[in-house]
């Protein structure tokens, strides 16, 4: 059994915030893979289903971001899970929008949701870092993550959601490489052979042979031309 945790804040006010991308990913997985309806449990929202041959519990803590670890710890104790069976999906300022990385263990890098989970279950769990970009200055971070995604973000955000959902079964099976490949197929798909052919440099066009120069007009008088014939 695996526990997939998406981080975010509860309520419609926060639903489209950058900080809520973890919630969004779990909603997409649940919808695409026919998971059971969401229900209240473990101070959060829970949905159960299967990804490939693995039973997976989806958890969206409703304790607000800074207390996420309370909900995660409660769910782990109920299902008797180890940190290695937990994967947390969260927003990542240090990755460009649409980029994704998988990590196991390590620090929380100042992320309050991860900080709370560290305090309840330790650091030996898996994370899927979902890039949202950085506003550029530290003092702008709080407003940035608690602001809705811009309309211009819709395309890359949808590609990322689809890619994570496509590869979710590989992630549940512990195959991070195939999971990342599935995401890449959506976020950076290979060009088709036709596109590659169209984009290939065209061979230089052969220049036509130059036309022979036309003879200069004959300006001699008829008498001069006659005399030249007998020279």
Annotated catalytic sites, by residue?
19
Using DSSP bridges, classify how beta strands 86-92 and 126-131 pair: parallel, antiparallel or unpaired. parallel
Are 100 and 157 spatial neighbours (Cβ–Cβ below 8 Å)? no
Residue reference for tokens 């449990």: 41
| CA distance linking residue 31 with residue 94, whole number of Å | 29
DSSP string, 68-95: HHHHHHHHHHHHT--GGGEEEEEEETTS
Residue 188 DSSP symbol: S
Are 103 and 92 spatial neighbours (Cβ–Cβ below 8 Å)? no
From first CA to last CA, the distance across the chain in angstroms is 112
State the Rg of the chain over Cα: 32
| CA distance linking residue 47 with residue 228, whole number of Å | 109
CA dist 194 to 36, 188, 190, 191, 200, Å? 42, 17, 11, 8, 10
């Amino acid at each position: 059994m695996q526990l997939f945790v998406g981080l975010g804040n509860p309520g419609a006010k926060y639903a489209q915030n950058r900080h809520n991308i973890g919630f969004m990913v779990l909603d997409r997985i649940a919808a695409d893979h026919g998971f059971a309806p969401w229900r209240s449990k473990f101070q959060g929202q829970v949905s159960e289903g299967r990804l490939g041959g693995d039973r997976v519990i989806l958890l969206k803590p409703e304790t607000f971001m800074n207390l996420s670890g309370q909900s995660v710890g409660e769910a782990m104790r109920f299902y008797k899970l180890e940190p290695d069976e937990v994967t947390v999906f969260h927003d990542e300022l240090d990755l460009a929008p649409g980029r994704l990385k998988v990590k196991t263990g390590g620090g929380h890098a100042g992320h309050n949701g991860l900080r709370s989970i560290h305090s309840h279950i330790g650091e030996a769990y898996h994370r899927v870092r979902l890039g949202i970009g950085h506003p550029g200055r530290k003092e702008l971070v709080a407003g940035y993550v608690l602001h809705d995604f811009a309309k211009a973000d819709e395309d890359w955000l949808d590609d990322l959601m689809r890619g994570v959902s496509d590869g979710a079964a590989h992630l549940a099976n512990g195959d991070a490489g195939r999971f990342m490949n599935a995401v890449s197929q959506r976020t950076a798909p290979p060009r088709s052979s036709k596109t590659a052919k169209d984009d290939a440099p065209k061979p230089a066009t052969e220049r036509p042979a130059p036309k022979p120069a036309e003879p200069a007009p004959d300006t001699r008088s008829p008498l001069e031309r006659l005399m030249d014939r007998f020279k």
